[in-house]
A and B are shown apart, each in its own frame.
Chain A
């Protein structure tokens, strides 16, 4: 069990640029989640995959955000035309089955200047 891996750990980008983050879940976990955490707040749910199917999306996930999990393994989260309000920690988590505990990665910290 190597844990949930996220890449990169930090990303600094200029407003208007596109960014993409990657998450590798624990290998046997078929459920994958993305959350966003801003300073002083708890994580906010963005989206959830079961295998390659995106089954839940938050209203927070605007048209500029897109997430994929093409082969049911790793996932990517892309933010287009970044805004300063997108600055946050983006957390990925995975779980084995429904109601199983979530295992979180270390997160990707995005700073938009």
Chain B
């Protein structure tokens, strides 16, 4: 079974600075997708960024980018120019490329942004 590990339960960053959230995963599959989701306090979970395992190029979405290391099974999220609105729980998630629609989530990491 696939597992997703987020080893840092909490992090903090100063506004306008850069922060990197780590995630590792375990799978025997070669075709899969990786995601970062953001869950602000008392608000719905939203997709931040996704990465297809077959793509070597790291995904970017504005201030958000990933460092995807397939051999190391590592998938970190970098947030540049942090904003107060980035404060949230961040979840790393895995989905098989083999047809299952199930997302496997990590335990999450609470990001605090200090003004």
Q: Which residues on B sit within 8 Å (CB–CB) of A2?
A: none
Q: Which residues of B contact A (CB under 8 A)?
A: 4, 33, 43-47, 50, 91, 93, 100-108
Q: List 26 A-B contacts (CB under 8 A).
A: A4-B44, A33-B101, A40-B107, A40-B108, A42-B91, A42-B105, A42-B106, A42-B107, A43-B91, A44-B105, A45-B102, A45-B103, A48-B101, A48-B102, A55-B101, A56-B101, A58-B102, A91-B45, A98-B101, A99-B33, A102-B47, A102-B103, A104-B45, A104-B46, A106-B44, A107-B44
Give A59 to B4 CA distance when docked, in angstroms: 18
Tell me how many residues of A have a C-beta within 8 Å of chain B: 25
A-B contact count (CB 8 A): 47
**A104 near B101 (CB under 8 angstroms)?**
no
B8 → A minimal CB distance (Å):
14
- Report whether B47 and A101 are in contact in the complex, using a CB–CB cutoff of 8 Å: yes
